[in-house]
Structure 1
Amino acid sequence: MKEVMMLSLSTWFEKGMTFEEYRKSMEVNRDELSRVYENVAFSNGDLQFFSDLANKKWRGIVLTADWCGDASFCVPIIQRIAEKSSMELKFLIRDENLELMDQYLTNGTARSIPIFIFIDEAGNEQKVWGPRAEKVQEFLQSLLVQLPDKEAANFKDKQQEVFAQFKERVTTDPDMWRVVIDSVITRLK
């Protein structure tokens, strides 16, 4: 059996795109991502936490994809947090980086994104956040329970409606953005 050499997190970081490179590469959710990026706001308490976080000199690796509804609002929020924390994020497309993705599976099985891996100057993992805040998950679950049985003729149409409703809410509602901000701050403390 051939042993696979695992890349260091610093090497993965170096492989990544900048936020602007990632945004320019987008074809599906660029408008939503940009809207959130341009409109997310922080409290004075948030800004104080971000200022203190800057002292840690962390960097971040983001596993994401343009088609991902969660990434369309989590990525720009956490990019803004990173900017306020003097933290550089680098972006990797999930399906092009499965060796890393498979180390950060949700519930040990799902390649759910976005995943944010925060590392120190030496490249050691410090914290991981993603793919979504618990309260956002609860909101999605409240929509999913409305779906008909998977065998129903209209299941696919109804599923698309639910995901469209989810995406619309999370990319336009500052209260949902606040949930993400609070979740990230709690995780990074």
Structure 2
Amino acid sequence: MDLNSWFEKAIPVDEYIDNMKTHKEGMLEVYRKFELSEPQKASLEEVKGKKLRVIGLTEDWCGDAMLNNPILLKIAEAADMEVRFLLRDSNLELMDQYLTNGTSRAIPIYIFIDSEGKEYAVWGPRAPKVQDFVDRGRAGLPEKDAPEFEEKQKAFYKDLIESYRTDMGFWQTVSESIIQKIV
């Protein structure tokens, strides 16, 4: 299936949000509070004429999607790009063409396509600086076979999700990373 067909199959943003069961409040909170900087808005002016569209591979249970999706939506608004979402677990045929490190079905993945349906750029699942933060946090966890591993891992991910919801530094890092891919 070509990318235009995948885009047509994808669900509109409002429908995706309406059907969210997990992280909906967090995603909407980031969306309400996040604002692009004036230089970012200016840089997106040149993207407007490209008539890009975005296929977002996502799932509502994903904390990274909770952080990244609302920022993508703000960028898309500023650049006149239509965004539609596909659920990863129902669209593995497409997901498997965009594996992270060639093996992982990590999400979200944003596929930017032009008016003819050609791939223009791909972004995801995390901004490099966010990935570094996550890697450092994981490195601080005990070994997987340690009795306290599961408890410490749950605490790490709980704190990470809270940071995603509230840390404007993360928000700027993500927006800069996505914009850098498309400008």
TM-score range relative to shorter protein: over 0.9
Q: If the length of structure 1 is used for normalisation, what is the TM-score?
A: 0.95
How much has 1:159 moved relative to structure 2?
0.7
Amino acid paired to 1:147: L
How much has 1:19 moved relative to structure 2?
1.1
Q: Match of 1:113?
A: 107
Q: Match of 1:151?
A: 145
Aligned runs of 1:38-187 on 2, under 5 Å?
Answer: 38-187=32-181
Amino acid paired to 1:131: P
Q: How far apart, CA to CA, are the structure 2 residues paired with 1:39 and 1:21?
A: 21
CA RMSD of aligned residues (A): 0.8
Poorly superposed stretches of 4+, deviation over 3 Å? none
Q: If the length of structure 2 is used for normalisation, what is the TM-score?
A: 0.98
Q: How far apart, CA to CA, are the structure 1 residues paired with 2:157 and 2:7?
A: 31
Higher helix share: 2
Could you list the runs of 5+ residues in structure 1 that have no partner in the other structure?
1-6
Amino acid paired to 1:100: L
Q: How far apart, CA to CA, are the structure 2 residues paired with 1:95 and 1:123?
A: 23
SS in 1 for 2:166: coil
After superposition, give the CA deviation of every residue in 1:50-88 in whole Å (9 maximum; x if it has no partner).
222111000010000011110001000001100111100
Could you list the runs of 5+ residues in structure 2 that have no partner in the other structure?
none
SS in 2 for 1:122: coil
How much has 1:171 moved relative to structure 2?
1.6
Q: Match of 1:3?
A: none
**Is contact 2:63–2:161 with CA below 8 Å preserved after alignment?**
yes
Amino acid paired to 1:73: L
Q: How far apart, CA to CA, are the structure 1 residues paired with 2:59 and 2:150?
A: 22
Amino acid paired to 2:20: M
Identical columns (%): 44
How much has 1:45 moved relative to structure 2?
0.9
Q: How many residue pairs were aligned?
A: 183
Mean alpha-carbon deviation: is it higher for 116-125 or for 37-46? Answer: 37-46
- Among candidates 6, 13, 20, match of residue 26 of structure 1: 20
